[in-house]
Chain A
Amino acid sequence: MRYDILHLQEIASTLQIEGNTINALKNSSLDRYGVRRFENGKQFLTSRLGQATLEQLLTESKNWGGPGTPYEAPFAAPHKEHRQGRELSENILQEFEEKTRQLILKYPQFVFSGKCALQQTTTSLKSNDGLDLMSSGGATAWYLIYQRRGSGNMMDGFFAENSLGPNFDEQIEFQRPFLDVFDHVAEIQSGKMPVLFINATEPLKKLIESFSVQRYYEDSCLYAGKLDQELFSPKITLLDQCYDPAQGDHQFFDDEGTVRKNDPLLLIEQGRFKSLICDLRFSKKYNYQTTGNGRRNYNTGVQVMPHHLRFAAGEKPWIQTLKNLDQCLIVSIMAGSESNDLGEFSSPVQVGYVFKKGQLVGRAPQLSIKTSITNCLSKNLIAISSDSFLPNSGEPCLITEAEVLVS
């Protein structure tokens, strides 16, 4: 019998602001365990919330593991490694409170709500055959959403940062021009125009599906059968990064215990489809080496998922590219987007801004955008920036031409 135990320990303090009032403090300290027992070619999954001994966990596994599911794949090689990240300063919540109060005073025409959470997390994965992996570290996740008084909207914009050590001043300074121009709605016409996606996960949805080893070999995704082919512009290099302590990602192994030799993983290299993502189970089924993408919560089975996708940095900062464009739409929030199975993407833009020759001129009117994944990464591609749009996000942004439909 083999077993492994994923143990997530999280201690968190969260300060909340609601409607311009700092009104709640939440503390939590929770232990979560995910137990996998392997016996006679089967896998048995159980989980527990709350502290427990090894004996308790194994007893529950036997009592509650059910009939099990077939498992014939290999296990991660025995390996011991512990990495300790930096702990957080206790003054962060106080600083968040002070900066938020200053913001409220400076911008009385806006109403701010949000949270700042300090999380100290320890994740370990141990097995009875020599796997002993542990990572720990702190992360701060904070956001403020704002409503313009009288706009009638639930949300007119946001600040957000996930990092080891937040820089509230830098974020506020960056957002100041956007707050200042909020009341001016820029004039733009429907038609093709340059668009900057702060986060390109949504338009890339059908490409991301194609990275899954299962979808790829089942021939049920857009780019099935196109591995090693040149699909996009040579400016496109897309990575999947597992370990990134600066962004608060301290876990250097996947949830099966695979530690990547090369992290980040190159998925698209200079436009060429370079790699799929795979876990141990599918590595056996499809004879494809695991890429350390077997991921699970403490209470679920393993699924093949990317860790943190991002573009490799391009040549110029985004503002330099925008200076050479007559106009550019910045897509800040686009909740409700959808991609069809042909890779055509459309979305209303909930919050957007317009730059002309590199100058912020106003908020975008109500509009929607339409593009296709293939075009936006090839013939319509303008640039991948060398920097992130939001300070500290670590994500270079996609600037491409898209169809804009002003309502």
Chain B
Amino acid sequence: MPTRHLKKLTEALGDLHLTCDYWDVRIEDTVDTTITVTQGEVVNCSISPSLGAFIRVRRHGFWFFEATTEIDQIKNTLQRLNQMPARLAQSSPFVVEKHPLFDRVQHHDEALYLVPLNEKIQLLEKYEALTRQQPHIVNSTFRYKDTYKIKSFLNSAGTQYEYDFNQAGINGRFTLKQEQNIFSDAIHLYATHFKNLYEKENKIKDYITESAEFLNAPIIEPGKYRVLLSPEVAGVFTHESFGHKSEADFMLGNDEALKEWSLGKKIGADCLSIVDDGGHHATSGYCPVDDEGTPAQKNYLIKNGVLTGRLHSLETAFQLNEKPTGNSRALNFEWEPLVRMTSTYIEPGKKSLDEILKNAEGALFLDGVKHGSGLSTFTIAPSRGYRILKNGQKERVRVTVISGSVFETLKNIEEVSADFTLENNAIGGCGKMEQGPLPVSDGGPFVLIKEMQVS
């Protein structure tokens, strides 16, 4: 089961001298457990250990990658990659800063794979059985997943790190049906200690009871609406609408994009500040050091409506002459790191939710997220919608998708509340190119937006 590999790695590579610009090795030793219970029956229960390394060599600006499970052969692999024929002729020095040793293997004694499988199965069965107390539920599938991982890293600048990552979650999906009306919904639970998944019975029951109320809710008339986003929806909005656009790899070779995204430009409302920070412990976006050895930091992407930063890897920072930000992340040892988010959120404001609600009559309150995506137009499929009536009362409505243009929506933000929640997910995550789901977290306050397309 997962162990530390850094000592062996430094011993094996201590005398290595290569002629390349840069090299690094990342070993990931992981155990995943997944359990699925459908309609009272355990249909899947599997444990997946994996141990492997991703090795990179940069020569004259060109990268050679190799993914391998033969971790005893890392030195030979590095030497072989160093002999590969040069494919670019870039000569400017690729300077990589050395960072102090980061050693934080802290969950080893409470790693989730140590919790007996029977205990996990019983908990999942108990929670799934709650769905049968609601008469309209015709289908339910509850899925449990936990991950324990130790990452060990060494690069040619001398940066070394070793840390572990421990998370578990339950995703309960269910479908309600009454005559011809169908409503599907899902509840998510997250913890970094197994005991924190206990005693969620009331939360699940309340959630299902509220879902059942949507069976007969009217479908919203498509159009433009003033909307109030819950912290969960605000988080997905932040991630999808703006976070992906802050990833610097999409600006490579594109001077026009850099001009449009010039730092210091006013792009959002004054009340809007967006942050990405991998340092939030006990979240699914926890990434204290990225997969190239750059420590996490609090990166302001927008501060008071002004574009103040973007997310970088070593390569994108080098190409754009900026600083790495600790955002180079890979899905697992089989993949090369890409520029990715960690924990991304809107900073809270000063007004209470009650104060905001007083000014939100007629707006749509959106809560829960089925999925979201962000390209030229971002979209979010919220699971629940409510029309805000007088005196803060709410009327349920069914909403399929909200969408909009990123820049217009950032400028349309009216208020952000003082409340703040960071949402985590141990089963889903972020997808980019072939790599997903990568654990991330996102969140924020309640956010009031002047206008969004709703359908």
User: What is the interface of chain A, defined by CB distance below 8 A to chain B?
Assistant: 16, 18-31, 45-51, 64-70, 111, 113, 115, 147, 149-156, 214-215, 218-220, 222, 281, 299-302, 333, 335-342, 344, 346-348, 350-351, 366, 368, 370, 405, 407
Closest chain B residue, CB of each to CB of A69: B42
A-contact bits for B225-264, CB 8 A (1 contact / 0 none): 0000000000000000000110001111111110010000
Known contacts A215-B139, A218-B138; is-contact A154 B244 (Cβ 8 Å): yes
Determine if B64 is an interface residue (Cβ-Cβ < 8 Å): yes
Closest chain B residue, CB of each to CB of A104: B253
Interchain CB contact under 8 A, A50 and B51: yes
Determine if B389 is an interface residue (Cβ-Cβ < 8 Å): no
Determine if B324 is an interface residue (Cβ-Cβ < 8 Å): no
Q: Which of A25, A48, A70, A405 contacts B49 (CB 8 A)?
A: A48
Interchain CB contact under 8 A, B139 and A218: yes
A-contact bits for B374-408, CB 8 A (1 contact / 0 none): 11111111000000000000000010110101000
Which of B43, B46, B69, B401 has the largest number of chain A CB atoms within 10 A? Answer: B46
Residues of the B chain whose Cβ atoms lie less than 8 Å from the Cβ of A66: 45, 47, 117-118
Nearest first, the 8 A-B pairs at minimum CB distance are A19-B252, A336-B379, A19-B253, A301-B44, A50-B69, A220-B139, A341-B182, A26-B65
Shortest CB–CB separation between residue A351 and chain B, in angstroms?
A: 8
Interchain CB contact under 8 A, B65 and A47: no
Closest chain A residue, CB of each to CB of B33: A66
Closest chain B residue, CB of each to CB of A407: B453
Residues of the B chain whose Cβ atoms lie less than 8 Å from the Cβ of A366: 376-377, 405
Interchain CB contact under 8 A, A47 and B48: yes
19 contacts between A and B (CB under 8 A): A19-B252, A22-B88, A23-B62, A46-B47, A66-B47, A152-B260, A155-B375, A214-B38, A299-B48, A300-B46, A302-B44, A335-B374, A340-B219, A341-B181, A348-B401, A366-B405, A368-B403, A368-B453, A407-B377
Docked complex: B168-217 residues within 8 A CB-CB of A: 175, 177, 181-184
Determine if B342 is an interface residue (Cβ-Cβ < 8 Å): no
Interchain CB contact under 8 A, A370 and B46: no
Interchain CB contact under 8 A, B48 and A69: no
B275-283, B365-373, B416-424: which lies at the interface: B365-373
Interchain CB contact under 8 A, B377 and A348: yes
Known contacts A64-B47, A220-B175, A301-B36; is-contact A30 B69 (Cβ 8 Å): yes
Shortest CB–CB separation between residue A107 and chain B, in angstroms?
A: 13
Having A336-B377, A344-B219, one finds 14 other A-B pairs with CB under 8 Å, namely: A25-B87, A27-B66, A30-B68, A45-B46, A47-B47, A115-B433, A149-B257, A154-B245, A220-B182, A338-B371, A338-B400, A339-B400, A342-B219, A346-B222
Residues of the A chain whose Cβ atoms lie less than 8 Å from the Cβ of B376: 151-156, 350-351, 366
Closest chain A residue, CB of each to CB of B84: A25
Residues of the B chain whose Cβ atoms lie less than 8 Å from the Cβ of A149: 254-257
Q: Which of B44, B252, B254 contacts A300 (CB 8 A)?
A: B44
User: What is the interface of chain B, defined by CB distance below 8 A to chain A?
Assistant: 32, 34, 36, 38-39, 41-52, 61-70, 84, 87-88, 117-118, 121, 138-139, 175, 177, 181-184, 219, 222, 244-245, 249-257, 260, 315, 319, 334, 336, 370-381, 398, 400-401, 403, 405, 433, 453, 455
Determine the distance from Cα of A30 to Cα of B87 in the docked complex, in whole angstroms.
26
Interchain CB contact under 8 A, A24 and B403: no
Determine the distance from Cα of A370 to Cα of B372 in the docked complex, in whole angstroms.
17
Interchain CB contact under 8 A, B372 and A27: no
Interchain CB contact under 8 A, A346 and B400: yes
Residues of the A chain whose Cβ atoms lie less than 8 Å from the Cβ of B244: 154
Residues of the B chain whose Cβ atoms lie less than 8 Å from the Cβ of A21: 88, 252-253
Known contacts A154-B375, A219-B138, A219-B177; is-contact A24 B252 (Cβ 8 Å): no
Interchain CB contact under 8 A, B254 and A26: no
Residues of the B chain whose Cβ atoms lie less than 8 Å from the Cβ of A341: 175, 181-184
Determine the distance from Cα of A30 to Cα of B51 in the docked complex, in whole angstroms.
11
Residues of the B chain whose Cβ atoms lie less than 8 Å from the Cβ of A26: 64-67, 336
Interchain CB contact under 8 A, B139 and A45: no
Q: Which of B50, B378, B401 contacts A347 (CB 8 A)?
A: B401
Closest chain A residue, CB of each to CB of B45: A69
Interchain CB contact under 8 A, B61 and A23: yes
Closest chain A residue, CB of each to CB of B139: A220
Determine the distance from Cα of A338 to Cα of B455 in the docked complex, in whole angstroms.
10
Residues of the A chain whose Cβ atoms lie less than 8 Å from the Cβ of B252: 18-21, 111, 113
Interchain CB contact under 8 A, B336 and A24: yes
Residues of the A chain whose Cβ atoms lie less than 8 Å from the Cβ of B181: 341
Residues of the B chain whose Cβ atoms lie less than 8 Å from the Cβ of A220: 138-139, 175, 177, 182
Residues of the B chain whose Cβ atoms lie less than 8 Å from the Cβ of A29: 68
Q: Which of B45, B65, B87, B398 contacts A301 (CB 8 A)?
A: B45
Interchain CB contact under 8 A, B64 and A49: no
Determine the distance from Cα of A150 to Cα of B376 in the docked complex, in whole angstroms.
13
Residues of the A chain whose Cβ atoms lie less than 8 Å from the Cβ of B36: 301
Shortest CB–CB separation between residue B420 and chain A, in angstroms?
A: 26
Interchain CB contact under 8 A, B68 and A336: no
Interchain CB contact under 8 A, A300 and B34: yes
Interchain CB contact under 8 A, B50 and A49: yes
Interchain CB contact under 8 A, A301 and B43: yes
Shortest CB–CB separation between residue A156 and chain B, in angstroms?
A: 8
